[in-house]
Structure 1
């Protein structure tokens, strides 16, 4: 087998198994340890792997988090359906926290004009809801994150500690066995406090977020009461939710039975 063929086979193995050792390469291709190491050096030079002690892994792929305005341009029908479902869970008299995610903004856009209190750190959410004459809006003051249009910092967290609310609607970049994750730590710290102040924590996440893990973990799965998503997740993901006592609500109206 030529080296290029081996390199392609090593990459295929990594895609399926996440990790490969020098011993496995030697066994799979009946080559010496020196040859196996040369193969790994070649792949590393081409930026196709990351060498580890005794083997290799695939390089991490991090999605760029677009600015809030750019994300709004691509708000999907899935997010809109999730937002509509979430808004249907808000009732007159409720005290509700809305975070600064675009999926939660879809919830704000679908809210009825009713007598309830909304607490948010999102400039966009406050602006959208300001046209509803019956809503009481509490905009949390702090440092403005200009690109993503949310307020953060110790003053936001301290003010949140004064509120006790019925529901908190939270968006994520990833939700997996590692918990709820987000790209920016300062955003995650605020979300964590929002969740702590709510009787019911409702996470809004389209199917692309399920199983993903991003940079900063701000909560574990046991902190969630309800997940609203657009498609019925895989059986393994549903088992993960069940294990952590998370209720599931989907907008696709499909059966939540076995795959």
Structure 2
């Protein structure tokens, strides 16, 4: 499968490029149809001045319509949105949130990979950062993250596989609504994935389509390893991916409450603390 030719930077703390921010801005408008400058500033973690400059440029390019206080998507008649959307934070915004903590967690996760091993890495900002620490490794990796796949394809000699499906640019992943998408032909010892929240309800996710895709990946791996910074502990999202009993390893940071960690260990979960 040909990896989409999109260039990304994996250095911690590096802000998204203007072209990435503007494409994300257009994706947000395609989904919401209208957004205020204040909303875009919050969602894109940028200044109002930056967002206003983006709106001026994109308006001149006839890619959106500037209105008082914000912008709206170009009128497509009765067609509505031109893209399919799933719930969840945008990848490039999420990547900049707690970047140093996520990088430390990703490093700890990469240390669990053994040479020659077959692993599954689910799409997400924390798991994407594993790429930096896998560049010199020799692994067989199945991932639905096209941004991670390109990172590793360009900078490593790992064997990279991807499932078939549609690209969801906002989250940087490929998802398939079909049961047969080549995933079933892959066998892995470990699956790494992030989550918007983990609690006594289990590992949760923001969208039902994500759940369906991730559960297909989970069936192909022996162990499940969750990457979740301390702000995700005792949080829950809209859908349950799996129970705590199904989690083998949880990697978090030193900001985690020891009482919460102890509770998770009672479910048989090995909890690893990543130091920054």
Distance (whole Å) between structure 1 residues aligned to residue 190 and residue 168 of structure 2: 24
User: 2:150: which partner in 1?
Assistant: 127
Q: Where does the alignment leave 5 or more consecutive residues of structure 1 unmatched?
A: 1-63, 254-259
Q: Deviations over 1:75-112 (max 9, x none)?
A: 52110100011111112110010111100011122114
TM-score, normalised on structure 2? Answer: 0.64
User: Contact 2:189 / 2:222 at 8 angstroms: preserved in 1?
Assistant: yes
User: 2:141: which partner in 1?
Assistant: 118
Q: Deviations over 1:24-54 (max 9, x none)?
A: xxxxxxxxxxxxxxxxxxxxxxxxxxxxxxx
User: Contact 2:143 / 2:163 at 8 angstroms: preserved in 1?
Assistant: yes
**Structure 2 counterparts to residues 53-68 of structure 1, below 5 A:** 65-68=88-91
Equivalent of 1:196 in 195, 207, 219? 219
User: Contact 1:115 / 1:136 at 8 angstroms: preserved in 2?
Assistant: yes
Distance (whole Å) between structure 2 residues aligned to residue 202 and residue 154 of structure 1: 24
**Structure 2 counterparts to residues 85-234 of structure 1, below 5 A:** 85-155=108-178, 158-231=181-254, 233-234=256-257
User: Contact 1:157 / 1:190 at 8 angstroms: preserved in 2?
Assistant: no
Q: CA deviation at 1:156?
A: 6.7
CA pair 240-152 structure 1, distance change in 2 beyond 3 A: same
CA pair 91-182 structure 1, distance change in 2 beyond 3 A: same
User: Contact 2:163 / 2:181 at 8 angstroms: preserved in 1?
Assistant: no
Aligned residue pairs total 190
Q: Where does the alignment leave 5 or more consecutive residues of structure 2 unmatched?
A: 1-86
Distance (whole Å) between structure 1 residues aligned to residue 133 and residue 139 of structure 2: 14
CA pair 80-157 structure 1, distance change in 2 beyond 3 A: farther
Q: Indicate whether 1:251 and 2:274 are aligned.
A: yes
Residue aligned with 1:203, SS: strand
CA pair 145-157 structure 1, distance change in 2 beyond 3 A: farther
User: Contact 1:100 / 1:122 at 8 angstroms: preserved in 2?
Assistant: yes
TM-score, normalised on structure 1? Answer: 0.68
User: Contact 1:167 / 1:202 at 8 angstroms: preserved in 2?
Assistant: yes
Instruction: Determine which structure has greater relative contact order: mean sequence separation of CA pairs < 8 Å that are 6+ residues apart, divided by chain length.
Output: 2
Whose radius of gyration is greater, 1 or 2? Answer: 1
Q: CA deviation at 1:73?
A: 3.1
Q: Indicate whether 1:70 and 2:93 are aligned.
A: yes
Q: CA deviation at 1:199?
A: 1.4
Q: CA deviation at 1:152?
A: 1.0
- Computed over aligned residues only, the root mean square deviation of the Cα atoms, in angstroms, reads 2.0
User: Contact 1:142 / 1:156 at 8 angstroms: preserved in 2?
Assistant: no
Q: Deviations over 1:112-170 (max 9, x none)?
A: 42322010111111011012442110011102212112111234764222211011101
